[in-house]
Chains A and B, each alone.
Chain A
Amino acid sequence: MRSLSSIIAYASAAAIFFILLISNSSAFCQQKISGVVRSTDNSPVDGATIIVKNSTRNTVSAADGSFSIAAKPGDVLIVSSVGMVEKKVQVNEQSFIIISMTFNVASLEDVVVIGYGTAKKKDLTGAVSSVSAKDFNKGIFSSPDQLIQGKVSGVQIINNNGEPGGAITVKIRGNSALSGTGQPLYVVDGVPLDGRSLQAGNNPLNFLNPADIASIDILKDASATAIYGSRAAYGVVIINTKKGQTGSTKLDVAASAGVSSILKKIRVLNSAEYRDAIKYYAVDPSFDKGANVDAMNEILQTGLQQNYSIAGSGGNENGKYRFSIGFLNQEGIVINTGFIKYSADIATNLKLLKSKKLGLDFHLNSSQYTQDGSAHSTGFGGIIASALTWNPTDSLKNADGSAKIVPGGSVNPLVLSKFLSDNLKVTTLLGSISPYYKFSDWLEYKLLVSINYSSGISRSSKNQALNVYPFFPQTGEATIKHRELITEQITNTLDFNKEIFDDLHLNAVAGYEFMKFVNKGFALRGNGAQPAGFGNYGLDYTNYVQFSDVNGRSISSYIDPSYELKSFFGRTIFNYKDKYLLTATFRADGSTKFGANNEYGYFPSFAFAWNVSKEKIFKIDLINSLKIRAGWGKTGNQEFPPGSSQALYAFQDNGSIIQINSPNPDLKWQADRQYNIGIDFSIFNNRISGTMDYFSKTTTNLLFPSPPIQPAPPASAVRWINLDGEIINKGLEILINGAIIRKEKFTWDLTVNATFLKNNVSGLPGPVYTGNVSGAPVEIIQNGLPMGSFYTRRFLGLDKSTGPTAGFSIYEDNGTFYVVGDPNPKTLLGISSTFRYKKFSLIANLTGNFGQDIYNATLMNLLNVGGIKGRNIALSVYRDPVREDLANPSQSLSSRYIEKGDYLKMSNLTISYAIGDMAKTFKGTNVYITGQNLFLITKYSGFDPEVNIDGNINGIPSFGIDFARYPSSRSIILGISFSL
């Protein structure tokens, strides 16, 4: 009840705040006109902008297409909407206007950002998916990647963890990373991001406010990504922020608030089952402490979420602006965890000079977020692990309600939560200024100068009160870390756009770019002085580290070797009669990372498209458009540490100097070659449209952190090399949109996307192991197998005999290792359905991954039968038909802990009601209720099969491991949005 009342309180406070904020400015004595905007097929047009010509009055249509605006007879309304042809309507004496808009054919006139330029969707020759704001997932998100989860074929987006602001895994067209993150290159308004996050387990896109995002374009095939050269091998995600729109100042306000709770629990024993189990395993009855406790419930909470954003925009043809501020407060579902973000964004687009030939785009995005409690919640000894394993018959609290501490006993999760703290504060500034000059209609020069600065400060402390437990510092510990990431960029482009012969149009871009990346930081750690420690002043130890023991301190600082990129690139698009399209791109990337012998890499691509439907002989009424595309390209990856190509010595903290790497002057980029064949079609009066792509991607010169050839510098764990071998990803992507029902009052749209993936490794000189689970690898990368296949003992069950090994694990061939699973999904599925009835609409999004296995290390390490002596165990191991011997080393890696990870999730369900205009002030008002993760269908026994806990070994990434993660949540959110 606390939560519900809080929401109401928050929501009403927010509403009052906004009302106070607004001064009502539209009090002219105009006639009130209302109406509805519909498309030619009768479906309502949501979010159409309606402007009264030669005035500052404007409004936005609601989800049911309705609007109202002050206008007098003779006024002209200009109505525009993305994907529609702009329409002008004269106001007569009527008070209700029905405005009918025609589609730009299947939105093919939509502009897609393709890297150093834009293209109309109909002119695309490569595999590019674009998702615009109206199709984004609804709900409260800490970062924009979640806006498109499940929306794009060929793209797997995983929340590694359930925590707010936690890390994500984005795999475009399968898994081809033998090292590094395998994550795509993110480009925000033309500024490529560094890709590193300020702290492991942290999402690099956290700094963006999802409400500021206009569209996200995903370049998938090499013909589209090759323009980004040596950083594009894992695909490119282009994030476009919203820009100012012409018209008088419009203020868009959105407020939402909600509650979240745990999606799915892990089934451990309850107190009654635990008492039975004590008898069943014949252990000391004193393990029954008499109470009935659900420790997981004690550390969980109903997380409150609030999200507000206000954006103002306006301008005229000479200057447009947009500014926004955002506030997000997400309480975690685990106590003392949460995420808070403040963000602000300013963008202006100016046209200067009398001739308007000089333009200036300016963009500044700033944000700060804090993330609490994420580090100490998860992993070994974390709050979640200790709650899962807490004896359900043992009370967590003393009689007075305080958390109970039993020295040397099991670690009480409430005590951990009270006496551990960690906090990460990240401040990001992304600024760019871009002047351009139009020499003529067809020639434009553009300069982009940008800087992206982010700084992260993490503070964590362990209170000395925890020293009654093993493995905690006797006198407490405080750690402060600071890290800065800086990216500077200068890009020059010359854009040529002209019909050079009859019906032959040429669009060409040539450019030069220089980038510089910096990564530096420092860390301080102190343990409390002997014997008193940091004391019990109730203050955070990180606020007075100097009080620590001089013998228990460490300090360090670093700066990465400089990393610079110098690139030349170009693209030409020939368009003959809109029937035949030919794109060729080329990029030369020079990188300081590459060895002296390979300073420059060259990345070409070619693609061809044929608009079949434009041919007279293929003119069929049923087919509105049909395009066939084919492309080939080369891209690269250079995700290895700068300085890997020459010998480096580092300073140690006792005055010594040691060499820290095994330098390789022959080191170069990893190379990807990709073919793509695709079809875009639209049939039945554009009622059904779709895209199909087949791709084959071959990765070679694999960047690999190889074992150094001994004798090697003692501190060099790896020697970076380009390993022989190939990783091949093949797949089929299908996306189909159907406007199934188009009635005046009722419409139903359905979009389904599916991806079928196949992954194979060949040509490696030897097997590579990764997937660290309690110190040993559980995954193998080997010829003839998919990447990261699970490779371990095959568990055959527990010994049913009555001999001395009764109740011990039996493995096939006495524990010989076999390939026993595959963490890569074979099918990705996304379903999106939109119903509209009058002013109501219902949007449902389902996402699913199929065919992948998960290594459940939570079950293995934390919830095995051996824990019955004082700790909790999983119900599944207790229910095993054979009584497991308590001395069975059940923590041995084996297929026993590999589970099917298939799942289908109702990731998003939104019911919205379009109120339309309220009073004179609130235009296009929408209210909605959204449920995130309403249900999850899976057989997986962990918190959530959408999981990827890092188990890399020497930087070789793992995939599909679950261990003591932060549980996923289910949220219910109420929201309102309107314009002023």
Chain B
Amino acid sequence: MKTRRLVFIAFISIVFNCSCKKLTETFGGNLTTSQVASNPANTAALLQGVYQSLQFTFTSHEVIFPLTELTTDAGIAPTRGTDWDDNGILRVLHQHKWDANNIYMSKGFNSLSGTVYAATDILRYNPSAQEKAEARFLRAWAMYWLLDLFDKVPYRDQGESVNQPARVRKGPEALEYIISELNTVMPDLPDGPVFKANRYAAKVLLMKCYLNKAVYANRGNPNPSHDAVDMNKVISFADTVIIKGGFSFSENYFHNFAPGNTTLSRENIFTQLNVAGSTPDNVLHSAWFMVFHYHMNPNGWNGFATLSDFYNKFEAGEKRRGIVYSTLSSPLNPGNRINVGFLAGQQYDLTTDVPLNDRTGIPLIFTPQVKNIETEPNLEVTGIRPLKYFPDFANRYSPDNDFVLFRFSDVLLMKAEAIFRGGTGTDAGSYGDNATSIVNAIRTHPSRNATALSSVTLDNLIDERGRELWWEGWRRQDLIRFGKFLLPFQEKEYQSDPKYLLFPIPAAQLVVNSNLEQNTGY
């Protein structure tokens, strides 16, 4: 009897405890390292992920954009009463008063480092030669931005543990590494398309490296002196792009940024591809949300603006300042109001042409005057609003505008600058062999419609870069190279401390990575 009971109990406990097994972790919805490695096709998906990592970093209004434009004479984020105060973290950008806890700096540092990680990680999964070259180009691209903004580039080799502090390359060492990577991968890169890592993009990035090399050699120096050898390298890369790249001016300056710019633009050399409806977390709409007033269409956040000195650098008739633009899906705009470029003055309902008011009922007239902290009574309407990307009215939730990372006119302007800074002029394409003719080729093209400059000077060259490349993320770098970043400008009426030539390493990263050193002065 007793035995039978014991058998019964033993039976029950065995039946219900067949799970007396080793603990195993399974991943029903995710892939492990070995699963990723098991299928060679996964490298393409991983590479796609690296491209995807650029989206938020560059397209969002809150990662790279505030660092590169709102810290300059071209952009400001005015506090409008209780709107856009954000506890002052935006104000300090334009005022050059930021510290190591600023969220935009940590977003920039972390996002760029994320691309470095993803582009490194794919290398351990045995990618094809071209995939490998693309990944290494994208890593060099992200590292370049880390170098430019922070002077410190944290890195690991593929497969190294993320629990160990990453090693760090600094300044010239980092630049050397980036240049050597670009040269190494060049033969394996494709010629296009422009939304992929391509040979011409690599050459333009090399131009940026050499053009700014003197800056990266000594970050505390507000007036870098440039070496003719480097300038000739810039010219040489430019000539390859000009002669072999097949790029020319777009028929319309704003085609470069409009919905469908994948096919509309002839100038774009490197872009971040957005496909209507299929790009995940597509935040390109921040290009208009960040400037549009709440009452405009699409309704915006009534945020950032430019300053009148910057706006006044343009000639009245030139097209880069603003035009009437339309797409198949855009409102009719019966009053032919300027609807892309710098939006100044009275704004209208572009369907009915009725003048708009702000939320308090006063006319929505964007004024040239704008302050760091706006004062009564026109809190909402101050500041001219730059709109570079024409809204995609057909795909409001996932716009079709690709984000532009490199453009042909920048290549020409860099070549002109390199010649101006002591490089030897060369004749490539139909743009002339001297700085003035190259600059004027851009200015006088019908898509720009500006008058020719009599001669190029340092002052009008930096202005020209401002006019051509406004709000494309180059203003801070350009002002630093021209020694003008620290000078007083509107709403920062003082010379800034040279420490602001670099952004601080985010405080949270200093805590977790003992190999990182804070930049001087922070």
Contact = CB atoms under 8 A, between A and B. Distances in A.
Given A449-B16, A656-B52, A659-B121, A646 B32 contact: yes
B29 A887 contact: no
A89 B151 CA distance: 92
Contacts of B86: 774-776
Given A712-B113, A714-B114, A564 B24 contact: yes
A520 interface: yes
A360 to B, nearest CB: 11
Interface string A775-811: 1100000000000000000000000000000000000
Interface string B394-424: 1111100000000000000000000000000
Given A549-B397, A656-B49, A659-B121, A711 B30 contact: no
A561 B27 CA distance: 4
Given A549-B397, A650-B30, A663-B162, A561 B25 contact: yes
B24 A562 contact: yes
A490 B25 CA distance: 18
Interface string B23-53: 1111111111101100000100110110111
B114 A711 contact: yes
B82 interface: yes
A558 interface: yes
Interface stretch (A189-197, A325-333, A687-695, A862-870): A862-870
Contacts of A78: none
B373 A889 contact: yes
Contact of B117 (A549, A713, A765): A713
A872 interface: no
Contacts of B53: 658, 714
A527 B162 contact: no
Nearest to A869: B360
A649 B30 contact: yes
A647 interface: yes
B375 interface: yes
A445 interface: yes
A437 B5 contact: yes
A709 interface: yes
A654 interface: yes
B295 interface: yes
B374 interface: yes
B30 A887 contact: no
Given A657-B46, A775-B86, A887 B373 contact: yes
B82 A864 contact: yes
Contacts of A653: 278, 280
Given A514-B17, A708-B162, A710-B113, A643 B82 contact: no
B220 interface: no
Interface stretch (A244-252, A370-378, A742-750, A890-898): A890-898
Contacts of B307: none
B303 interface: no
Interface string A746-770: 0000000000000000000110000
Contacts of B295: 408, 470
Interface stretch (B127-135, B476-484, B509-517): B509-517
Contact of B45 (A552, A599, A655): A655
Contacts of B25: 561-562, 564, 592-593, 642-643, 646
Given A657-B45, A658-B52, A551 B276 contact: yes
A650 B276 contact: no
Contacts of B87: 774-776, 892-893
A654 B48 contact: yes
B88 interface: yes
Interface string B104-146: 0000011101111110110000000000000000000000000
B30 A648 contact: yes
Contacts of A470: 294-295, 299-300
Contacts of A560: 29
A286 interface: yes
Contacts of B9: 437, 445
Contact of B376 (A711, A719, A815, A886): A886
Contacts of A552: 277, 396-398
A886 B378 CA distance: 11
B450 interface: no
Contacts of A492: 13, 16-17
B368 interface: no
A892 B85 contact: yes
B163 A710 contact: no
A815 to B, nearest CB: 8
Nearest to B393: A530
A339 to B, nearest CB: 32
Contact of B23 (A284, A449, A599, A666): A599
Contacts of A520: 28-29
A892 B299 contact: no
Interface string A572-614: 0000000000000000001111000001000000000000000
A26 B109 CA distance: 80
Nearest to B117: A711
A858 interface: no
A566 interface: yes
B193 interface: no
Contacts of A662: 162-163
Given A408-B294, A647-B32, A713 B121 contact: yes
19 contacts: A437-B9, A447-B16, A490-B17, A490-B19, A551-B278, A559-B29, A647-B32, A647-B33, A657-B48, A659-B121, A707-B511, A710-B109, A711-B156, A712-B162, A866-B81, A885-B375, A887-B379, A889-B79, A889-B373
Given A709-B162, A709-B164, 10 more contacts: A284-B362, A445-B13, A449-B16, A551-B277, A552-B396, A561-B25, A709-B165, A711-B166, A766-B511, A889-B85
